[in-house]
Amino acid sequence: MAAGKFIKGMVYGALIGGALTLLDQQTRKEVLIKGKEVGQNVKGIVTNPKEKLKRVQEKILFFRDTIQDMNDDLQFIMKQAAEIKELGEDTVKIIEETKEVFQKEKTESENQRH
């Protein structure tokens, strides 16, 4: 019972608040413009539902294709990143091996002098 009163109070409050906002001329104009837009959209859907359905299907296909393209791009980027990481590890290994060779040569050279 209390929930019913609460809902009723909310509806009355919304109606009163809506009515008060319509006292402003600019708000009335905006509500009228938006109301006409909604009316035109509803009329378009009612008079030509197949065309609206076709447009929705086209948008769905477009978004599906876009998501697939993004997924493909992401997989490509991840593959490239893995290759770059591998090259970096290989480069570090080569540098360490080169360092060891130079240190070994330096040590041998120093041993020969003494």
Rounded CA-CA distance 12/6 in Å is 10
Rounded CA-CA distance 20/24 in Å is 8
The model's pTM is 0.44
Q: Which residues of 78-110 are buried (b: 16+ CB within 10 A; e: fewer)?
A: eeeeeeeeeeeeeeeeeeeeeeeeeeeeeeeee
Name the pLDDT band for 16 (thresholds 50, 70, 90): confident
Query: Is the pLDDT at 95 greater than 80, yes or no?
Result: yes
Residue 20 burial by Cβ neighbours in a 10 Å radius (0-12, 13-18, 19+): exposed
The pLDDT value given to residue 114:
64
pLDDT tens for 60-73 read 999 999 999 999 99
